[in-house]
Amino acid sequence: MSTVHHGTFVKKILEFFPVPKYLRMQAIGVSISDDAVRYVELDDEGKGVYLKSFGKESIPIDTIEGGNISKPEALLDALMKIQKRTGARYAIISLPEEKAYLFKTEIPVSSEDDVRQNIEFKIEENVPISADDAVFDFSFIPTSKPSSDGVVPVAVSLVPKDVVESYVAIFESAGMRPVAFHVESHAVAMSVVPKDDMRTYLVVTIDKTKSCLSVVSDGVVRYASTVSIGSIDLVSKGLGGFKTSKDESRSFLANDFKSEIKKVYTYWSSQGDNSAPLKHAKARNIEKVLVCGDGVFEAGVLEQIASGVPTSVEVANVWTNAFSFGDYIPEIVAKDSIEYAGAVGLALDNLV
């Protein structure tokens, strides 16, 4: 199980000084998975947030390999089609989990510039790249006890600079300027975990060829891992690993998938942040498993996941932080919207 991580990158310059709505750059959220590029555009004019546009463009399944863009022409073609359809000039973009790192540390409380400098000193102690070769951001981890020695726990997220630059270049070639980046697990969390909810969730995001398992606690992605098992491995026309034991290879993969989920659940329940050098962090039990992505509604998927963890498992609501169904019903069916969790989270960031 390879460790991958959450984070926000290249924060919008005016995040802490919101501009008037009429001056705000209208950006779409663009999530890149292994088989498609999905986009969502939200707006909050009038009575509240509503879905302005959405869609996807398929890409060859080997366009993105290990987080690297292996077929730039295919990705560029998809992005150009999206730009032409939407007219979008700006985009908030997901970055691949496989290329991201997360580490937790403690730093002195100070100005943001000092915080960043202190984090730079910690990077090479925790990840195999230098601060000069990384783009990073951080999130303060809430703690119930104030520090007596003037330090606070932070979750640091980073991606190699050359990876970020490769995505910037291809989006700009398609006519869209990136205004912010989020690693996919963080984008999904912004969509499916209720804002200001401090409880602990395990979020399972299923893609075609891989899945991401992330733990969100205190509103922050605290742990994430990818497994090389996706919906292609788990479900098929009448012969899915969740549906029958006749297909031994698929049945094995289904059991392996369940085992990986159970492993993350057990790790967090027994270790949590106590495994990291955080004096003030406290492990919390996972209260719910949220599932989104491809193949979620296939028969047996939720049941198989639920059989491996002693807590409730449910299909995530990707509109949790956007609107209530009592106020507004988007023009997309639930079976389709569950694949747009990352894109919705990214689009929500444009409304901040």
The mean predicted confidence, pLDDT, of the chain is 83
Mean pLDDT over residues 20-34, rounded? 76
Q: Which residues contact 295 (CB under 8 A, 6 or more apart)?
A: 206, 230, 231, 234, 235, 301
Mean pLDDT over residues 101-112, rounded? 80
pLDDT score of 155: 85
Tens digit of each residue's pLDDT (9 = 90 or more) over 284-342: 789 999 999 998 988 778 888 888 899 999 999 999 999 999 999 999 998 899 999 99
Which carries the bigger pLDDT value, residue 146 or residue 184? 184
Compute the Cα dihedral for 317, 321, 324, 325 and give only its sign. Answer: negative
Q: Structure tokens of 59?
A: 């890409």
Phi, psi for residue 193 in degrees, rounded to 5:
-95, 120
Lowest mean pLDDT among 73-82, 109-118, 223-232, 260-269: 109-118
Q: Is the pLDDT of residue 69 over 60?
A: yes
Tens digit of each residue's pLDDT (9 = 90 or more) over 71-106: 999 999 999 999 999 999 999 999 999 999 888 888
Q: What pairs with residue 29 in β-bridges? A: 40, 92
Among 211, 346, 237, CA closest to 292: 211
Tens digit of each residue's pLDDT (9 = 90 or more) over 3-15: 333 344 444 333 3
- Going edge to edge, which strands form the sheet with 101-108? 101-108, 151-160, 134-140
Q: Is the pLDDT of residue 280 over 60?
A: no
The architecture of the domain spanning 2-349 is 2-Layer Sandwich (3.30)
- What is the band of 272 on the pLDDT scale with cuts at 50, 70, 90? low
Which carries the bigger pLDDT value, residue 245 or residue 211? 211
pLDDT score of 145: 60
Tens digit of each residue's pLDDT (9 = 90 or more) over 157-184: 889 999 999 999 999 999 999 999 999 9
Q: What is the pTM of this model?
A: 0.85
pLDDT score of 1: 34
The whole-angstrom separation of Cα 299 and Cα 350 is 35
The whole-angstrom separation of Cα 299 and Cα 144 is 42
- What is the band of 252 on the pLDDT scale with cuts at 50, 70, 90? low
Q: Is the pLDDT of residue 204 over 90?
A: yes
The 3-state secondary structure of the chain reads: CEEECCCEECCCCCCCCCCCHHHCCCEEEEEECCCEEEEEEEECCCCCCEEEEEEEEECCCCCEECCEECCHHHHHHHHHHHHHHHCCCEEEEEECHHHCEEEEEEEECCCHHHHHHHHHHHHHHHCCCCHHHEEEEEEECCCCCCCCCCEEEEEEEEEEHHHHHHHHHHHHHCCCEEEEEEEHHHHHHHHHCCCCCCCCEEEEEECCCCEEEEEEECCEEEEEEEECCCHHHHCCCCCCCCCCCCCHHHHHHHHHHHHHHHHHHHHHHHCHHHHCCCCCCCCCCCCEEEEEECCCCCCCHHHHHHCCCCCEEEECCCCCCCCCCCCCCCCCCHHHHHHHHHHHHHHHHCCC
Domain segments of the chain as ranges: 2-349
pLDDT score of 111: 66
Tens digit of each residue's pLDDT (9 = 90 or more) over 233-243: 887 533 344 44
Tens digit of each residue's pLDDT (9 = 90 or more) over 42-59: 998 767 899 999 999 999
Residue 352 exposed, middle or buried by CB count within 10 Å (0-12, 13-18, 19+): exposed
Q: Is the pLDDT of residue 21 over 90?
A: no
Q: Is the pLDDT of residue 146 over 70?
A: no
